[in-house]
Amino acid sequence: MVALAPRIPAPSVVARHLFLRRSRWRWEEIAFWLIAAASFFLFPGHHVLITQALISGLFVVSLDLLLGYSGIASMGHAAFFGIGAYTAGILAQQGWGDPLLGLIGGAIVAGAFGALCSLLVARLHGAALLTVTLGIGLLCYELANKWSSLTGGDDGLQGMIVQPVLGLFAFDIDGNVGFIYAFVVIFIFYLLARRLVNSPFGLALTGIRENIRRVPALGISVRFQLMMAFTISAAVAGVAGALLAETTQYVALEVLSFDRSISVLIMLVLGGIGNLVGGMVGAMVFIVARDQLAAVNPVYWNFWLGLILCVVVMSGAGGIVGFLRRLGDRIGNGR
């Protein structure tokens, strides 16, 4: 047999590196989750804020499954987050306040709506896709605003009674139980998302993003894959919304707003698209920075946030996580 000329100088080293990178935990992931867990002890006065950042992180992960892995941009992803929040909220208001039931309800209703939307969305791309997803978000917002008998309209949904987690741990005002509950749920969903993107299904999504024309030639229906991705993403966003409703015991109309759809997109770009942990990091940085900057100047904090976003994007591909990876590689190579 004729040996082919190798293009890569040290295949075994490179191959081992790539294997580690793809299927094992990277240091940024481990560091993020360790810091997130440690923050329970390090920042006892900020549990509510960190819980919200983690919940936003799960919401960003749901968008990353769409944009980062499938290449579907959504300008109205808050629709699914909001539907999850309202579902959990209305269930709790009506006497079904078990937190796990709220999560399941949020996932099912948001997922079902996502499945319905995916019939339309999976056919579109480019500006049409952005416009339709934007339209879905605006429709849901106005529907919730007008249907005040169910949602509370502009005043928000009130009167939720969320039962203790597993019947044992009641939500407290300091947010201790809320933090641990959200952390565990989000970590489980992060593991599931990680598993999904490394499965043949997730790899096929990457294939669609990179070469949509080639995928049908592998016996894979692009439309079905995209519909599944959209549905799963919507369900995960619904879980994030339900978590927010349960931990704050209130649902504001803002959960469906265009601002939230844009914020989640900014968090994803900030942290890094297409690696899951980037979403978590981006959400944490965004929420904490917004809180701190608003404390410094409650009027012009958006200016500084915009500046941070520009600096991160201009500093190279991959957002904060991409920067950290390059830094880690440099340190690892002793340069």
Residue ranges in contact with other proteins by CB under 8 A: 1-8, 11, 14-16, 18-19, 22, 200, 203-204, 206-207, 210-211, 213-222
CA-CA distances (angstroms) from residue 284 to 63, 267, 310? 15, 8, 17
Task: Give yes or no for a contact between 255 and 85, defined as CB atoms under 8 angstroms apart.
Answer: yes
- Biggest CA–CA distance in the chain, Å, is 76
Task: Give yes or no for a contact between 85 and 245, defined as CB atoms under 8 angstroms apart.
Answer: yes
Report the nearest approach of other proteins to the CB of residue 325 (Å): 14
Cβ closer to other proteins: 2 or 127?
A: 2
Cβ closer to other proteins: 123 or 146?
A: 123
Report the nearest approach of other proteins to the CB of residue 220 (Å): 6
Cβ closer to other proteins: 210 or 259?
A: 210
CA-CA distances (angstroms) from residue 214 to 207, 208, 227? 8, 8, 18
Report the nearest approach of other proteins to the CB of residue 64 (Å): 15
Q: For residue 206, how far is the Cα from the chain centroid?
A: 18
What's the CA gap between 178 and 272, in Å, rounded? 27
Q: Which residues contact 34 (CB under 8 A, 6 or more apart)?
A: none
Cβ closer to other proteins: 122 or 240?
A: 122
Cβ closer to other proteins: 227 or 244?
A: 227
Report the nearest approach of other proteins to the CB of residue 2 (Å): 5
Q: Which of 134, 85, 172 is nearest to 261 (CA)?
A: 134
Report the nearest approach of other proteins to the CB of residue 4 (Å): 5
